[in-house]
Structure formats: structure tokens, C-alpha cells
Amino acid sequence: MNKKILTKIIAILAILYGIMTIKAGGSILFIDEMRLAAGDYVPFVLWINFLLGFAYITAGIGLFLEKTWAKNLSFSIAGITLITFVALGSHIALGGLFKTKTLKAMVVRSVVWVGIAFYTLKKTKTNNQN
């Protein structure tokens, strides 16, 4: 597949992922019924992921427009996600309540954003060689 097309697809998926993250997180944060139904969610993870949703959209737009800053933003998102994952692990180790769904979601977020970050790194190296 053409790298330009692949980059556009990744960008669109990042934007959609951001929209879904904001919608899902926002509904739990700001709608009482949803918050009660959510059960044992971890507030700091929810807030960080909700706020990162806006960064996902921004990174997706940057990737789509092939902006060089999108690489740095993607690595920042990946780093913040991994730090949050470690903090979640500490929270769990200290006996904090959590849902298995949260662990699974953090694995997905980590894999997605580390993957996107390294894709942008590879893309940048390829573009610099041309």
C-alpha cells in the first residue's frame, strides 16, 4: 500500500479514536447515570484518556496534513499513555478498585499509540532519505 494512503488511513483512524474516546469518557465524567453505571472506573485514568482524546484528534489532523509536529505529538501521547498504564498498575497493586475492561483498554491504547509513534518515526526517516 502507498505510504501516503496508509498515513491518511492512520490519521483518520486516530481522529475517529479521539472522537470515540471523548464521547465515551465524557459521558462517564459528565452524565450522572453513566457514571453510576460505569462501576469501578479509575478516575485519573478516565480523565487522562478523556483529555488525550483531544490530542488524538489533533495528532490525526497533523498526520493527515503531514505536519512534522505530528510525530512529536504522537510520541507524547504514547509516553503519557504508558505512564498512565504504569500508574494504573501501581493503583491496582496498592489494592485500588478497577475494571478488567480498563486494563484491556490501556493495552489497546498503548499498542495503538506506540505503533503510530514509531510509524511516524519510520515515515520521517524515509522522507528524509528522499
So what's the pLDDT on residue 128?
A: 52
CA distance 16 to 94: 34
Domain enclosing residue 79, as ranges? 3-123
Q: What is the DSSP letter of 40?
A: S
Q: What is the DSSP string of 71-98?
A: HHHHHHHHHHHHHHHHHHHHHHHTT---
Q: Which stretches in the chain have pLDDT values below 70?
A: 124-130
Rg of the chain, C-alpha, whole Å:
16
So what's the pLDDT on residue 127?
A: 60
Q: Is residue 129 part of a domain?
A: no
Residue with the three cell numbers 453505571: 37
Sign of the C-alpha dihedral, residues 126, 64, 113, 73? positive
Question: What is the tally of structural domains in the chain?
Answer: 1
Q: Is residue 130 part of a domain?
A: no
Q: pTM for the complete prediction?
A: 0.92
